[in-house]
Structure 1
Amino acid sequence: MLLAVDAGNTNVVFAVHDGEEWRGRWRIATRADRTSDEYAVWLLALLNHCGLKASEITSCAIGTVVPAALYNLRRLSREWFNTEPLVARADLSWGFDIEVDRPKEVGADRLLNALAAHYHYTGPLVVIDFGTATTFDVVGPTGAYLGGVIAPGINLSIEALHRAAARLPRIGIGRPQAVIGRDTVPAMQSGIYWGYVGLIEGLVTRIKGEFGGPLKVIATGGLAPLFAEGTTMIERTDPDITLEGLRLLAERNPAPIFHRTTLPDSLKIETE
């Protein structure tokens, strides 16, 4: 089985794929100082709850935009699952060209989204990822990664509004029925929700115009279904695109060699 780890700025998502389907998905808040042992205590309990064993994990793929978190995620894979993780980076075999000025600077999550979106939906297309940042990534007809747009994420905008304006409260995100708010909170909710709908529609329209042809629009991330309700620009939502990208990347690239002798005896675990 494959353990896929998608480490974002806000959450780390762990998921297990048995070769046919995803058997479980779990998330934990991203903390760069979280140790491999802390991850293990939490993750092993969840695996056990789903009837899975550590010994059934035979490979691991990690995609992260938080370099400081990678060290302990690698240790988790090595120490607790006896496998050397495949870490998503630009110099692996992706099956498509990365047609940007500095390929190594493209976030792993954006390449993973492009890989899975083209595989499942075929290009050309735009992938909108509602994460800590809201990203728009353009995939060409043959799957080539053509670049994209990075905008502030919804929750970042809400927090910035609350912090910078003394009399504005912290609000939750939801779809207001009216654009014109008749009180402070509804007015803020309208500005955030319909403002981002306008951002989506405006950017997708400009991307299509610059691309010079039609593009499918796929959305992912926890808030994707909410914003898909407010615009016809988003044709489909898919919560598993990044995880699917990790699965496909692991299939395309040989698993790194794990040397058990490199671990002290105290760190080796029984896998039988």
Structure 2
Amino acid sequence: MLLCVDVGNTQIVVGVYDQSVKAGKDSGGASGGLMGHFRIATRNDYSSDEMALLLSQMLEMRSLSASNGLDGAVVSSTNPAVGATVVEAIRRWFDLDPLVVSGDLDLGVEVRYERPGDVGPDRLADTVAFLDLYEPPGIVVDFGTATTFDAIGSDGAYLGGAIAPGVLVSVDALFSRAAALSRIDMTAPTHAIGNSTVEAIRSGVLLGFAAMVDGMCARFEAEIGPSKVVGTGGLCSLITPSSVRVKTHEPWLTLYGLRLVYEYTR
């Protein structure tokens, strides 16, 4: 079994793959062989022992004992401190030497970023997974702490992308700075023109972000041509129902990309 860990700034997403089960375009997609998955809130003050305990308990709850069959691990992290803690926990308690994904690895993808090492490892994993599942050119929109857009050329090269504030980051900023506004549940608005403060906020956030995503995808396609657009990330299901461009939602794109990177490099 392969332990895949994607450390973000808001959440740590963990998945366990049975590598004997085929995955990919013709074999279950990104979820092929995915035996279990869970999320842990990202905290900078966890020790490696505490992180190992959390991982072990969550694995046990899904009948995936860390001591019974884990034979590999791969980690991507956009939070260096927490990523280092996760790596140490896996090395010390699971007796595994995890592969740490970075732009300096040979992933079989040409990276046309000015400094390839600056590309987030989760974005590289998304690209590797996209190329296995779909035909380029493509655009991957990842809805996380930041909303990232990644462009994949018709030749399969990673071209670059865009980074925008994430949905929750923007909402938190709005409510923390606008004293007259109260936090609300983010459910889909029935109209773009809200006839109450609650509906106006829902429209501005959900439809506004969807419009931003659609607009950015249109600008990308003006440069690389008509593209397959795939959405992923923890907040994807909140925004994409209102999007006209993002028609494919692949929640395990990053985890699957980590599996592919591990299999390619090991």
* TM-score where L is the length of structure 2: 0.92
Q: Distance in 2 between matches of 1:150 and 1:142?
A: 23
Aligned 8 A contact 2:15 2:255 in 1: yes
Q: Distance in 1 between matches of 2:145 and 2:168?
A: 7
1:99 positional shift: 0.3
The residue aligned with 1:2 is 2
Q: Distance in 2 between matches of 1:134 and 1:173?
A: 17
Q: Distance in 1 between matches of 2:174 and 2:253?
A: 30
Aligned positions of 1:24-173 closer than 5 A: 24-55=36-67, 56-173=69-186
* Mapped pair 1:14 → 2:14: yes
Instruction: Name whichever of 178-187 and 222-231 sits farther off.
Output: 222-231
Q: Distance in 2 between matches of 1:145 and 1:49?
A: 38
The residue aligned with 2:261 is 249
1:42 positional shift: 2.0
Q: Distance in 2 between matches of 1:60 and 1:142?
A: 30
Structure 2 unaligned regions, length at least 5: 22-32
Q: Distance in 1 between matches of 2:238 and 2:256?
A: 22
Q: Deviations over 1:104-132 (max 9, x none)?
A: 11111111111101111121100000000
Structure 1 unaligned regions, length at least 5: 255-272
The residue aligned with 2:25 is none
1:171 positional shift: 2.6
Aligned 8 A contact 2:52 2:90 in 1: no
- Report SS of the residue matched to 1:23: strand
1:235 positional shift: 2.3
Q: Distance in 2 between matches of 1:246 and 1:23?
A: 15
- Report SS of the residue matched to 1:6: strand
The residue aligned with 2:207 is 194
1:70 positional shift: 2.1
1:232 positional shift: 2.4
1:51 positional shift: 2.2
Q: CA RMSD in A?
A: 1.2
1:223 positional shift: 2.4
* Mapped pair 1:206 → 2:190: no
Q: Distance in 2 between matches of 1:149 and 1:85?
A: 29
Q: Distance in 2 between matches of 1:151 and 1:171?
A: 22
Q: Distance in 2 between matches of 1:46 and 1:148?
A: 34
1:30 positional shift: 0.5
Aligned 8 A contact 1:158 1:171 in 2: no
The higher radius of gyration belongs to 1
For 2:8, the aligned partner's letter is G
Q: Deviations over 1:137-164 (max 9, x none)?
A: 0011232110001111011111111111
- Report SS of the residue matched to 1:5: strand
* TM-score where L is the length of structure 1: 0.90
Q: Distance in 1 between matches of 2:107 and 2:98?
A: 17
For 1:71, the aligned partner's letter is A
1:37 positional shift: 1.5
For 2:52, the aligned partner's letter is A
